[in-house]
Structure 1
């Protein structure tokens, strides 16, 4: 009887400079700590000369960079209060808006924006430049996700991750002064403060130790999964595939369902595509005069084409990653769908767009040394595929019968 295993995998977006199993490159998140670049905008810290504003890097939600690098001839007495309060700027690609905030996250409005342009112009320009670079990288990531697909000759290998959180440093306790030594009340205050400090350090050490043990347990389970995978355990094969997905440059988040059939040596993948509105659909550029961001939205047809390209690029990458997990995987069935509200029922339905069946021998015929030259839409069309693609490269929903006709159902 065939062994079957089905699991659901959550992927997360983000970018990082990765030094990993396939060399150095731009990739997504760190394991369990993704850095995300969202279409909503980026946070940049601003520095107002002589206003006491300091740079703070925040690793959560939106990316940050130091924007402190410009000359100042202003005296502190010349700086208005609203300028002194400026801490961060938020820039949005969707509409080109620029908003500034204080350290508490309060929007400083038009007055704050004008103050930023007057007293932190260079920083604001650098923030805009950083934002445009990030937006360009985001656009490219949707187009070229397939370009880093590994060759099926490669094998997924366990690489340990280190626990980098340092142990809490020993606390610095207050020493008894001359007065405290001879006054019991003062001495008691110092002793109570030291006791409270020791309690906090003990709690911090306990939490650190717990986190370290959790990490070690997590790594032991990862290592065991890779070992069992190499032995042909199909449950472990799925776990390793999930682990491999942690290192992929996902531009968006989503769910991936995996179903395996050991007897048929089949690896089935279903991926939920993002809403088309989550795919970046605008070019951005800085004003040639003044400080601002111009936005040129893509026409609807181009948005549909970019969505189609991303769907194929994503499937291409998933197929390739699956074949590297274990040589026992002979066939991969990859299907992409999106979720839409049914007008008749009001319920969310899965609308299938692409389903492709690929055998390992067919997959090995691709030139994995030149994937930049590969169009994933054309490449996947060489295999047994169910899809409805217009001449303008937009996707039309397909039926379950079309998917069933591929076989292995």
Structure 2
């Protein structure tokens, strides 16, 4: 069977920046404005409550002229405009309003003066998105030891218990309503009798549903107890149980890129044959980014082809180690795991895209257990293959050539 693994990260497109007629802010929220009149002149004050950002601009030396009043009315009617920060390919920041117009340099300067840490944090996030090496070369760091006794997951009966019914409330007419409208009293009695009849039917249905629920719950608990008692044997001998739990384990892992796995369990030889549709080299981050010395842009560089190939080689070797480790830990009766990894490549003679195997390796449990699981971070996934019988044609610079994998017995 084929398992499909996906990991998606939802990334916000940018930091929203608000600015008013007299200032700018890196937060969206309430806004305020006022005009100060004093001995030194009239000042327009624009602020956004809760952000700590405000701007003060001198309007006039005459504290009581009409211009001050106009500026006050203008400030009181202040509006905010949304601004988006975009990272350019050269690492510089592009500042635009929501209509795609560039911000005035004075506003950009004020943003950096008021909230430099906020913009720098945004730059750091953009840098992390470009580098994005999480789980690329370290995906094998969580490998469990191969000699492991798997534990049955405790499941709870998740069917909701039936809700006990309540009699429908019927409002009794008031004294005066019953006096002047005798029919309301009769209607009340009819509604009351109907409510009792409905309640009786609902109660009978509830009791039937409750009995069925309790029966299902008891059967579920009994099945879980039997499975728990027999799990140690089933996980070693029953193909369906072994396949089900291996699938659950592999699907529960966090994968850096889309990874497809298919497997065949052979109980007679205590062997698992696994084929992995590997990620492509294009899935590896193609660039590196660091914060520039000015702190106001990123230094972005393209990786060399050699660096990309070696990072890709490390990643796909680490995937095999990880899958082998979790398979050994999940299926205690398995002594040999044969993993073959393939990728899609263009056949230059036909221009067709074909599956080409890049490596095939036999992990036996005894040798696999010799890996130092206390210092996994020191293990080089590429060199780790040398401890096992394997087939691959890879140069020192990470170039793979097509191979014929080990055959399924």
* TM-score class, shorter: 0.5 to 0.7
Contact residue 240 and residue 325 of structure 1 kept, 8 A? yes
**Residue number among 50, 53, 60 corresponding to 1:72 in the alignment:** 53
Is 1:141 the counterpart of 2:135? The answer is yes
Give the equivalent residue in structure 1 for 2:261. Answer: 256
> What are structure 1's unaligned runs of at least 5 residues?
1-6, 15-35, 56-67, 165-215
In the TM superposition, what are the counterparts of 1:36-55 in structure 2 within 5 Å?
A: 36=9, 43-48=13-18, 53=28
Contact residue 335 and residue 356 of structure 1 kept, 8 A? yes
Separation in 2 of the partners of 1:330 and 1:144? 25
Q: CA offsets, 1:134-189, max 9 Å, x none?
A: 555x325211111211101234434468999xxxxxxxxxxxxxxxxxxxxxxxxx
CA-based RMSD of the aligned residues comes to 4.1
Structure 1 residues 42 and 107 mapped into 2: Cα distance closer, same or farther (>3 Å)? farther
How many aligned residue pairs are there?
Answer: 300
Give the equivalent residue in structure 2 for 1:304. Answer: 309
Is 1:318 the counterpart of 2:334? The answer is no
Structure 1 residues 367 and 111 mapped into 2: Cα distance closer, same or farther (>3 Å)? same
Is 1:85 the counterpart of 2:82? The answer is yes
Structure 1 residues 89 and 242 mapped into 2: Cα distance closer, same or farther (>3 Å)? farther
TM-score (norm 2): 0.62
Structure 1 residues 114 and 43 mapped into 2: Cα distance closer, same or farther (>3 Å)? farther
Larger-gyration structure (1/2):
2
Give the equivalent residue in structure 2 for 1:132. Answer: 127
Give the equivalent residue in structure 2 for 1:359. Answer: 364
Q: CA deviation at 1:374?
A: 0.9
**Residue number among 391, 397, 401 corresponding to 2:401 in the alignment:** 397
In the TM superposition, what are the counterparts of 1:168-247 in structure 2 within 5 Å?
A: 227=231, 229-230=234-235, 232-247=237-252
Contact residue 394 and residue 401 of structure 2 kept, 8 A? no
Give the equivalent residue in structure 2 for 1:108. Answer: 100
Please give the secondary structure, in 2, of the residue aligned with 1:149: coil
Separation in 2 of the partners of 1:109 and 1:161? 56
Give the equivalent residue in structure 2 for 1:345. Answer: 350
Contact residue 91 and residue 97 of structure 1 kept, 8 A? yes
Please give the secondary structure, in 2, of the residue aligned with 1:143: coil
Contact residue 354 and residue 386 of structure 1 kept, 8 A? yes
**Residue number among 331, 336, 339 corresponding to 2:341 in the alignment:** 336
Q: CA deviation at 1:48?
A: 2.8
Q: CA deviation at 1:121?
A: 4.8
Contact residue 256 and residue 271 of structure 1 kept, 8 A? yes
Q: CA deviation at 1:230?
A: 2.6
TM-score (norm 1): 0.62
Q: More strand per residue: 1 or 2? A: 2
> What are structure 2's unaligned runs of at least 5 residues?
31-48, 57-73, 159-216
Q: CA offsets, 1:91-139, max 9 Å, x none?
A: 58x764756788xxx7736449996775365432211123334555x32
Q: CA deviation at 1:44?
A: 4.4
Separation in 1 of the partners of 2:237 and 2:54? 69
